[in-house]
Structure 1
Amino acid sequence: MKGFVQDIESIAVKNDEFRQVLYTAKNCQLVIMALKPNEEIGAEVHTLDQFFRVEEGAGEAILDGVRTAIKAGFGIIVPAGANHNIINTGNAPLKLYTIYAPPNHRDGVIHHTREDAEADNEHFDGKTTE
């Protein structure tokens, strides 16, 4: 079978890695993330569209300077070119998943911490999961 058909909520909630690429297709990519209390993704701008879904925890989404409180159940769409950041403002891990369209990271990459992610200058290399 091609594609990804799994319980993404359960996978995201169990995840403790800062970033893990679960599946990469030609035109999009599924990634889970876990932010520790007071941790953030870091302000960034992409040339691609991105969707976030919060599964557990609380935080703040910042899109082009507009701050919005987020919690489990929230979805965030970041259009290409928007300066954005996700910050965990709670006392527990912020568990979420994101979809990049098109892919942004190397398929299968795992970054245990934000520092690991920042030290690894990796980008999507054109290789998909299948």
Structure 2
Amino acid sequence: MRRARTIAVGGTLAALAAGIAGCADRGTYVGPPGQPQPMSIEGEWIGADGASVSRFAGGTFTTSMISTGEILANGSYRMTAPQTVSISMHSVVRQTTSTVTCAVASAVQMMCTAQDGRQFSLTRRAAG
């Protein structure tokens, strides 16, 4: 068991506009002994459209436009299972809050579903 690390969620502008926003508690996933440890999602993640980047650190995140730096959404996250993240976001664009659940498919990809059913993927931004 270890403290969940912050994740960088770079959602697409369309996904954010669809209501990906809110405020979830940072937390630690505690499962049965011998269960896999949570995968770190700390860092930067790019939306499939390549227009936005989400930065996750210390239990909070911010999503912004790559071209302008304009903040689109912010909030927090918590690991609910070793490869599942619950994200609570506040959309600055729409002034709404909502929940997103992401399955950490690998060290470089997350598959996410917003509470309204819209799906999108995030890819870890290469270091450097």
The normalised TM-score by structure 1 is 0.30
TM-score with structure 2 length normalisation? 0.30
Structure number having the greater strand percentage: 2
Greater per-residue helix proportion: 1
